[in-house]
Chains A and B, each alone.
Chain A
Amino acid sequence: MAEDLVLDTAIRDWVLIPLSVVMVLIGVLRHFVSKLMRTSSQLPDPKIVKEGQVIIRARNLRAAANFIPLKSFRARKVYYSNEENGLLFVPKGQAQNAQAQMFSDPNMAMDMMKKNLSMIIPQTLTFAWVNFFFSGFVAAKIPFPLTQRFRSMLQNGIDLSTVDVSYVSSRSWYFLNLFGLRGLFSLILGEENATDDTQRMMQMGGFGFDPSKSLSAEKDGLDILQHEWALPKFEQRAETVLRKLVS
C-alpha cells in the first residue's frame, strides 16, 4: 500500500462497533416481532390444506412406486388420476378464483404487506440513520484492493479523489454488514428467521397457484411413470445381508 492512512481510534469505537451491534440487535428484534405477529393471524384454509395433502400423497406414491407390485400400483394410480380428474377440471374455474381470492382476501393481502414492511422499514431507517450521522469521513479499510470504478460506490461521503479505494465510507460498511450478518443470524436464530427475505417472498408468491398447477403436474407425473418392480431379487438381497450379519 502506497500510503497508509492512520485513522482515529475513536472511529473504531464509535462507528464500526456500534453499527454492527445495532444491526445485530435490529435483526434479532425483527425476528421476534415477526414471530409474534405470525401466530396471531394464522387461519389456514381447509380446502387448500386438503389439496396440499393430496399432492403430498401422490408424490409419495411416485417416489416409492417401485416397492409395490404392479397391480397395486395401477390401482392406486387410477384412484389418484380419477380423483384428480375431478379436481383437474374444476381449476379452470378455480384458477381465476384462487388468484382473485389471493389478492382480494383482506387477511392474506394484509399479511403479505405486513411481512414486506417489516423487512423494508428497519433497513430504510438504519440506512437513513447511517447517512445522517456517519457521513463525510473514512470509516474502514477493506483488506483487498478494488478497481477505480468502485470508488463512487464505496466512498461517496469522502471528497478526496486521491485516497485509495480501499478506504471506504460508513455506508459501505453498512452494506457489508447487511450481507455478512445473514450467516451470523442463521447461526444464532436457528434456520427459520425473518432476515431471509428472498426465501419468504418466493414462498408467498407461489401460494395462490399452488393447487391447480401442481395438481395437473402431479397427474402428468403419475401418468408418465414406468413401473419397475425392484423386489423380485429381494430374496437374494436379504440372503446377502443376513450372511453379512451372521459372518
Chain B
Amino acid sequence: MAASDGSNASKEKSHDIANELPTYNAENMQSNMKVIYYSRTFMSIMGGVIAGILGFTGLMGFVFYFLVMAMTSAGMAAKAGFSVHSYFDSWNRIILDGFLGGLMSFVLFWTFAYDIVHIF
C-alpha cells in the first residue's frame, strides 16, 4: 500500500470553497483520474504476481483480483482524507472507475508467475 500511496502524492484539490456551486477544475480532475489509473494498473500487476506465487487457481484468483481492487479503492479514499468530493465529482470515480481495466494485466502476470513458480 505504501507504493500506491506514494503515487497519490500529487493530488490536487479540484473545487473551490463555494459548496452550493460545485465547480471543478478540469485539469486537476484529469490529473487525479490519471493517478487512479496508474495506481490501479500497478496494483493489478502486483496482485497478479502475488496470486501466481501463492498458487491461486480458477475462481480464487478472480476473487483475489476484486479484493485487490477493493483495497486500492479503500487506500485511495483514505489518502483523499475521506472527503472525496473535494478531489472527485462523485464516489463512483474512486470505487468503480478502471475496475476492469487492470484485468488483462492481472491475468498476464498471474499466468506468468504461476507458471514460473509451479510448473517449473
A residues neighboring B (CB under 8 Å):
1, 5-7, 9, 12, 16, 20, 66, 140-145, 176-177, 179-184, 186-187, 191, 230, 233, 237, 241
Contact = CB atoms under 8 A, between A and B. Distances in A.
Contacts of A142: 107, 111
A140 B42 contact: no
A142 B62 CA distance: 13
A145 B21 contact: no
Given A12-B116, A140-B115, A183 B56 contact: no
B105 A182 contact: yes
Nearest to B40: A183
B1 interface: no
Given A12-B115, A180-B107, A183-B45, A145 B102 contact: no
B58 A180 contact: no
A183 B115 contact: no
Contacts of A237: 18, 20
A187 B107 CA distance: 17
A143 B38 contact: no
Contact of B102 (A140, A183, A233, A241): A183
Q: Is the interface of A mostly helix, strand, loop or mixed?
A: helix
Contacts of B111: 140-143, 176
Nearest to A20: B112
Contacts of A182: 104-105
Nearest to B41: A183
Contacts of A143: 51-52, 56-58, 61, 110-111, 114
Interface in B1-44: 17-18, 20-21, 34, 37-38, 41-42, 44
15 contacts: A16-B115, A140-B115, A141-B119, A142-B107, A143-B58, A144-B58, A176-B104, A177-B108, A180-B105, A181-B105, A184-B105, A186-B37, A187-B38, A187-B41, A237-B20
Interface in B68-120: 101-102, 104-112, 114-116, 119-120
A241 B41 CA distance: 39
Nearest to B62: A144
Given A12-B115, A144-B61, A145-B58, A180 B108 contact: yes
Contacts of B107: 142, 176, 180
A187 B37 CA distance: 9
B104 to A, nearest CB: 4
A237 B38 CA distance: 37
B104 A183 contact: yes
A146 B69 CA distance: 23
B42 A187 contact: yes
Given A183-B101, A191-B34, A7 B108 contact: no
Chain A CB count within 10 A is highest, among B21, B110, B112, for B112
Contacts of B34: 191
A42 B37 CA distance: 30
B105 to A, nearest CB: 4
A7 B112 contact: no
Contact of B21 (A66, A187, A191): A66
A140 B104 CA distance: 16
